[in-house]
């Protein structure tokens, strides 16, 4: 996989995590009651996903799938 493709895949994953982190604020701003079962479940999953992505083990997992940090000096080859 090219370094550009790796960066793209990581950006997609990071965007999903960023959205998950922002989800509580989005729910609050939209006025949807957080006590609704599906909203509460979504918030729990979003919080869990954000926490899991912060673990060093996830970096190792991404390395296994070829999505580890690109260490080519930022050059696309």
CB atoms within 10 A of CB 68: 14
Number of domains in the chain: 1
Whether residue 70 lies inside any domain: the answer is no
- Please give the model's pTM, rounded to 2 decimal places: 0.47
Whether residue 51 lies inside any domain: the answer is yes
Whether residue 22 lies inside any domain: the answer is yes
pLDDT tens string, the chain, 77 residues long: the values are: 777 887 788 778 877 877 777 888 888 888 888 778 877 787 787 777 767 776 888 878 877 877 776 555 545 44
pLDDT value, residue 76: 47
Whether residue 71 lies inside any domain: the answer is no
Whether residue 40 lies inside any domain: the answer is yes
| Domain coverage including residue 30 | 3-64
Whether residue 73 lies inside any domain: the answer is no
Burial 34-64 (b: 16+ CB within 10 A, else e): eeeeebeebbeebeebbeebeeeeeeeebee
């Amino acid at each position: 996989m090219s370094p550009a493709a790796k960066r793209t895949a990581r950006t997609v994953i990071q965007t999903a995590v960023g959205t998950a982190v922002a989800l509580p604020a989005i729910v609050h701003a939209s006025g949807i009651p957080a006590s609704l079962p599906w909203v509460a479940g979504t918030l729990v999953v979003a919080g869990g996903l954000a926490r899991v992505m912060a673990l060093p083990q996830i970096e190792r997992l991404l390395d296994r799938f070829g999505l580890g940090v690109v260490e080519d000096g930022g050059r696309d080859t």
